[in-house]
Each structure stands twice: as C-alpha cells, then as structure tokens.
A and B are shown apart, each in its own frame.
Chain A
Amino acid sequence: MSDTPAIEMTDVRFSYNGDPVLVDVNVSVPPLDLAGIVGPNGGGKTTLLKLMMGLLQPDSGNVRVFGRRPREVAQRIGYVPQGFSYDRRMPITALDVVMMGRLGKGAPFGPWARDARVSAQEALDRVGAGALAHRLFSEASAGQLQRVLIARALATEPEILVLDEPTSSLDAAAEREIYSILRELNERMTIVLVTHDLGFVSSVVKSVLCVNRHVKRHPTTELGEITGELLEELYGSDLRLVRHDQSDQTGYCRD
C-alpha cells in the first residue's frame, strides 16, 4: 500500500446558500483506515462525505482521493446512502438492486450479463444476505435493506467504502452484525462512516473524525489505551460536549 492518503482535504470550505457548512477543513485519511465521522446534526457530516465522493464541489480548497480528483476515481468508491428512500411500488428484487453496483463494468447495453448476476450474488453472500437475492427489495426489513445496500456498494469492488449512518435505523443486534461485517471488509478497503453514537462504534473504528464546521481527526491509538467506555465518557451521549482541550486545538465539536 502506497503512502498516498486514501482521502486528503486541504483548506476545504463549503457553504450552502451562503451559510458556511464546513470551513478550514484539513484532514487526511490513511489507506485501510476505518474512520468514524461524528458530530452534531447539521454539523456537516453528510456534506463532508459528499465532498469526499465528488457529489459536491468545495467553494475553495482541494479534495483528493488516492491523490486524484474525486470525480476521476468515483468508480473506486462504494457508497451506502443514508435513509435510502425510493418508490416502494417499484418492483425490484434485492439481486437487481445489487447488480446496479456492476454498472460501468462490462457491456453498457441491454440486460445484465451473467457475470454481473454472479458478482451481485457473491456480494450479497458476503454480507450474509444471500438468501434475500430473489425477494422483493420493498419487503426487506431495515437491517436487510442496509445489508443489500452495502452489498450493492461492494459489488462495485471499491477501494473505499463510504457509509452514511449505516446503523441509525437498526436495533443493537443488527448494528453489531453490520459492524462485524465492516471490520472484516476493512482488512482490504478503507472505510469511512458517519455514525450518531460512539458507544459501541468506538471499539470498532481506528480513527474518529469530529465534524462541526471544522474537522478534527483523532486516531484511536493516539488517544492511548482507550476503551469503549472511556471514549463514551469522554464524548458523552451529547457530542456537543466533546472536549479537545487535551490537544492543541479547542472546541471544534462545541457549539
């Protein structure tokens, strides 16, 4: 693995209708990191993800993914969106959803090729959802839906997997299963995910990106032998209470 950061943002600024959402963002995510993005609602977490993927363009500053513009390497990024909504009357099986991850590979015309079908089934198997392949996507539970969407992202054979609140609508058991899948996937790919709580996640992630207009990265190793409980105590249930006064920067996650 080269030294080029998987994701690097320098002096990035982004505003929405004139309101600054992110300012002075300087952050670097090393290859094979498993980064958890935390911060208050409206703090810019999803915006940060979309900038990384090239779905949004910064007002100023640079975003580089594997040293290149996000748009150029979009095909190497697998994306799992948040609160996925679609017309539930649209009949489509889980396998058909996952096959969309094969877009841009193989012949562009006509129906799906056989190898798209095979890869999609493999991706579903990897997230333990192989049995859902021929079920209607609209009949999937929240946990199953999330697995299918992760499988769709995996079907793209990504080098970076980006997930926006992958477990927000799941119960604790389903959440644990999703994170054990992610930890396994992390052996081969960089993972960036937005999360709303740090309780259990803190034992999974390798670094924490604290987002509230600014972005501050804490590798969990740098924080020493920090256990899940300790991190939870440090960050509290309300992320606005995060303290950065141990480091040289202060108050980035505060209001």
Chain B
Amino acid sequence: MIDFLHAVGNHAFLQYALAAGLLASVACGVVGAYVAARRITYIAGGIAHSVLGGLGAARYLQVTQGWEWLHPLYGAVVAALLAALVIGMVSIRWRESEDTAISAIWAIGMAAGVLFIARTPGYAENLMSYLFGNILMVTPTSLWLIAALDLLVVGLGLLFYKQLLAISFDEEFARMRGINVEAFYLLLLCMTALTVVLLVTVVGLVLVIALLTLPVAIAGRFSRSLWQVMGISALIIAALTVVGLGVSYDADLPAGATIIILTGGLYLAVIGATSLSAKLRRSHADVDQA
C-alpha cells in the first residue's frame, strides 16, 4: 500500500484512476440508494450489459470513420440512456413484460457490441477492459466526461430527493400528491444509466451491479434515512476503490476485479458480524430470562 501511495505521487495515470474512482463512488452511493429503494437492481443490470453495444459501436465508428472525437464512452452514454428509456416505457405501459424487455435489452446490447468489436479493424484489446474495467486507462478526456456525468447525476439526486424518495416508497401516494410518477421514474432510470457508465470505467460492465448494490446493502444496516445510506455507501465505495487500486497495483492484479472481491468480502463480513451479534444478544437475553 505504501508503494502504491508513493507511485500515486509519481504517476499521472494513477492519479486519474484515483480521481475517476472517487468521483464514481459519489454517484454510485446516491443513485445506488434509490436503485435499492425503488427495487430496480435488475434493470440496472440490464442497462449495464447493454452498454457494450454503445461502446462497440462508438469504437467501430472511431476506427473505421476516423472520428477521433468519438470516445467509446459517448457511445456508452447513448446506449445506456436508450436502454433505460425503452425499459422504462415498457414497464410503465406493460408492467408484466418488464422482465422480458430487460432480458432482451441485456442480451441484444451485448450481442451488438460483440459484432461491432469483431468488425473493428485491429486488435480487439478493448473487449476485456469494457467487460471487466480498466481504471488505469482513464485519460484526462474521459476524466472530464466522468466529472460532468457525476455532477449531473449527483445534482439531480439531491435536487429531487423528496420526489425520488416518494416514488420509491409509495407510488400511489406520490401520485395523489401531484407528483408526475412516470416522469420521475424515467428520470431515475436515466440517472441509473449514467451512473452505470461511470462505474463501467472503474470496474467494467459485468461487475457494475456489485458496486451499485452491495455497499448500499451494507450502509442500509447502519442508517436511519436514505440520506445516510447515500453518504455511508459513497464513503464505503470510495474506500474500497482506493484500497482496491492499491492492492491491485502492489500485487499486479486487475483493478476492477480486485475492487469487486473486496466489496463482496466486506459485504459477507458485515452480514456475518451483524447476524452473529444479533444471535449473541438473543442468547444473552435467554440467559437473563432463565
């Protein structure tokens, strides 16, 4: 870890990686709390995988058309928003078909991505980094995009806290209070889509879902409000990203996977510890009663 901290001072690419991770963790904490509250984890998973189509298409055009400005992340943003809106519309109009829509978008997005990557001339070096992340590849350009998305998502999340909380907690009551439930639902899905894109740069699209759900689940055990869930989970994600980067740098391991393994480990440890302490408290209570 000491080596890593030294290296951060000397290498710009590590600073970019760290900045990207910390920025993404704020959005992940805020949006992850809503995703859990509104129970749209599966939708987030579908959006995350469909992003491959956008990444592949943008990369394909970048190479074949010579459009240097077309960073694959732009493609990811478009694909994620499109997926979010299609799934959202289907779930509003035909609720029973929601799962089918998610599954379709999930798989078709990935298939499109694979086809684009196959047709992109040159070495398909990007596939693995799209799937499992390559935070060390963050460039100043992508860092700006990450910062802008982060600001947008976190801003919306805080601005519309009351409305998003209300539609997550009790949709019918929110409707009676004059809230446009459908519009805020679509807004939440779009925020989720943008957060997914942020996280893809950190851990890759396959692993996004762990970072979006597990820290929030941990934070939920120690919180009394959605605000607290947001704050605590953002801190947890930030810490996991820093430690994960450090461990992966020192041990020469893929950063995304290292971060996810740490996240999973922490989740299991917290679940284990809290249920154990509950059990101990209960058995103490039994002893006291006897």
Contacts and interface: CB of A to CB of B under 8 A. Distances in A.
Interface of A: 53, 55, 74-75, 77, 79, 81, 84, 86-87, 89-93, 96-97, 100-101, 103-104, 108-112, 134, 136, 152, 156
B177 interface: yes
B178 interface: yes
B186 to A, nearest CB: 17
B220 A91 contact: yes
Contact of A97 (B160, B169, B178): B169
Contacts of B166: 100, 103
Interface string B28-40: 0000000011010
Contact of A103 (B39, B174, B225, B228): B174
A74 B178 contact: yes
B225 A96 contact: yes
A253 B52 CA distance: 59
A9 to B, nearest CB: 18
B163 to A, nearest CB: 7
- Chain B interface, >50% SS class: helix
Contact of B158 (A93, A97, A100, A110): A110
Contacts of A93: 224-225
B163 A91 contact: no
Nearest to A85: B170
Residue from A53, A75, A77, A87 having most chain B Cβ neighbours under 10 A? A87
A109 B162 CA distance: 8
Contact of B36 (A53, A75, A90, A101): A90
B220 A90 contact: yes
B175 interface: yes
A161 to B, nearest CB: 12
How extensive is the interface on chain B, given as a class? 20 to 34
Nearest to A162: B176
B228 A100 contact: no
B266 interface: no
- Ranked 4 nearest A-B pairs via Cβ: A103-B177, A91-B223, A104-B178, A104-B177
Interface in B135-180: 158-163, 165-166, 168-170, 172-179
Given A86-B169, A91-B225, A136-B224, A77 B176 contact: yes
21 contacts: A53-B176, A55-B172, A74-B177, A75-B178, A77-B176, A79-B176, A86-B170, A87-B37, A87-B39, A91-B223, A91-B225, A91-B228, A92-B169, A93-B224, A100-B169, A100-B173, A100-B174, A103-B177, A104-B178, A109-B159, A111-B227
A108 B170 contact: no
Interface in B1-52: 36-37, 39
B229 interface: yes
Given A89-B220, A136-B224, A104 B161 contact: no
A252 B226 CA distance: 48
